[in-house]
Amino acid sequence: MTEFTRGGRPVAVDRLDRWVTFSTVGDAELVSLTGEIDLANAPEIGRAIVARIETADKVLIDLTTVSFLDSAGVRLLDALIGDLDALHKPTRLVVGRTGAARMTLQLCAFREDLLATDLDRAAAELES
């Protein structure tokens, strides 16, 4: 079991792997979220993401398999984007053409310039 620590609090990855996985696409860190992202798991997911992307130069967040995104999930994404913007780290959210994440983010007037329909397009946008 891998553990990340954030603020002295351990975050066990084996409990999180049903919602979040990490990999790379080119030189970007890829964070893939799946299932329901809500008040019950958003704080824990956020801590794991922050611990993983601290050293990343570019970040892709794939939300195409998210089935539910509540206000806690939107706040998590907003905080991540704010922190990454402040650090001048290019970021894209992959939301597909339809789906729960796209609908929720559009209803919340989330920044359209960060939304991409597919992973290849998002990765290409980060390269330019």
Q: What is the pLDDT of residue 17?
A: 86
Q: What is the pLDDT of residue 15?
A: 73
> Is residue 6 over pLDDT 90?
no
Instruction: At 89, give phi and psi (nearest 5°).
Output: -105, 115
Strands 3-6 and 91-94: unpaired
Q: What is the pLDDT of residue 12?
A: 47
Identify the domain containing residue 34 by its residue range: 3-127
Write out pLDDT tens, residues 61-105: 999 999 999 999 999 999 999 999 999 999 999 999 999 999 999
Q: Can you tell me the mean pLDDT for 108-126?
A: 96
In whole angstroms, what is the distance from residue 70 CA to residue 109 CA?
14
- What CATH number has the domain bearing residue 49? 3.30.750.24
Distances, alpha carbon 107 to alpha carbons 96, 100, 102, in Å:
15, 11, 9
Q: What is the pLDDT of residue 8?
A: 53
Q: What is the pLDDT of residue 128?
A: 78
Write out pLDDT tens, residues 16-40: 888 999 999 999 999 999 999 999 9
Q: What is the pLDDT of residue 16?
A: 82
Total domains in the fold of the chain: 1
